[in-house]
Amino acid sequence: MTDTFADVDDVVRRFDAQDYLLDLGTASAIYLAVTLGRPLLLEGEPGVGKTTAAKTLAAVMDTPLLRLQCYEGLTSAEALYDWNYQRQLLSIRLAEAKFSGGAAIDESDLYTADYLVDRPILKCVRYRGPRAPVLLIDEIDRADDEFEALLLEFLGEAAVTVPELGTFVAERPPIAVLTSNRSRDLHDALRRRCLYHWIDYPEPSRAVAIVRRTVPGASNALVEHAAQFVNYTRDLDLDKPPGVAETIDWVTALVTLGVADLVDASTERGLATLAALAKTPDDYALIGDSFAEYSSQ
């Protein structure tokens, strides 16, 4: 297994072998990110496969995936590195017991690599495997503005500076994939350091192919009608339009209830599965009304 791709078609083929059907645009963005050694920022609506793309990339390249899930209040101690305070305290107490008559331990002795705790980003920088790992920085838009500044050194130089120890530089720059649902705008400084790609909802025909791969027990008619209906619901005034992930969940629920074709499902039976598509009460009502009309046609 090589740590590069021959071309864009090679990306498509190798992702296909992992049951992830890439469009040409996403395949091109991944090819360029890996080939040029640049971080990749994937944006798109929830459920279009951004996180799964990063996971599949790690599987395709036969390398570890390290995931950093972002959230409000995320700090450097949780993302970059931290100190093993319990071990430091133990060292202090052991030194005090041994040298009860004077200074127990020099403070500088407590801030060495022995006490350093690697969090996901520093762990990637210090990784020494045969291939560069994939670092997934998931939902970067959920983190605070200040956290973006912490990422700039890593994204620009594949390095992390620990004031007490100096700068760690990656032997093999990690393949960094950032995802965003655009819940807020990201800073220009972060965007400039990344290649960018927007993942849109797939066309119904590609959605059908994706669901067939993921839910092999579903009939062709069920998959096709479900994909068409989900595509239709995105034109409704929904709070959270369903993505590919929700389509897969819905078809799985229908198969579990023994539904072979959406148009043959009773309204009551079909409504029982709409919780896989609708994520708010208002969306449930809108999708439910549309489904009742659709299933009665």
pTM: 0.88
Instruction: Express each pLDDT in 221-275 by its tens digit.
Output: 999 999 999 999 999 999 999 999 999 999 999 998 888 887 766 656 777 888 8
Q: Could you tell me how many helices (H) and strands (E) the chain has, helices first?
A: 13, 9
Residue 289 CB coordination number (10 Å): 11
- Round the average pLDDT of the chain to a whole number and report it: 90
CA-to-CA dists, residue 2 to 12, 19, 52, 58, 239, angstroms: 15, 19, 21, 12, 43
pLDDT over threshold 90, residue 4: no
Q: What is the pLDDT of residue 248?
A: 95
Q: Binning pLDDT at 50, 70 and 90, where does residue 192 land?
A: very high
DSSP string, 256-282: HTT-S-GGGS-HHHHHTTGGGT--SHH
What pLDDT is recorded for position 92?
Answer: 79
Asked if 253 and 273 count as a contact pair (C-beta separation under 8 A), the reply is yes
The CATH code that applies to domain 8-75+119-199 is 3.40.50.300
pLDDT in tens, 95-144: 777 766 555 666 767 888 888 999 999 999 999 989 999 999 999 999 99
The count of C-alpha atoms lying within 13 angstroms of the C-alpha of 149, restricted to the half-sphere facing its C-beta, is 4
Interval 39-53: pLDDT, tens = 999 999 998 999 999
Q: How many CB atoms lie within 10 A of CB 93?
A: 12
Residue type present at position 52? T
Q: What does the alpha-carbon distance between residue 278 and residue 247 come to, in Å, rounded to a whole number?
A: 11
Residue 230 · residue 247 · CB < 8 Å: yes
Asked whether residue 286 carries a pLDDT value surpassing 80, the answer given is: yes
Residue 261's pLDDT is 82
* Domains of the chain by residue range: 8-75+119-199, 81-113, 204-295
Predicted pLDDT at 112: 87
Give tens-digit pLDDT for 63-105: 999 999 999 999 989 999 999 988 888 887 887 777 665 556 6
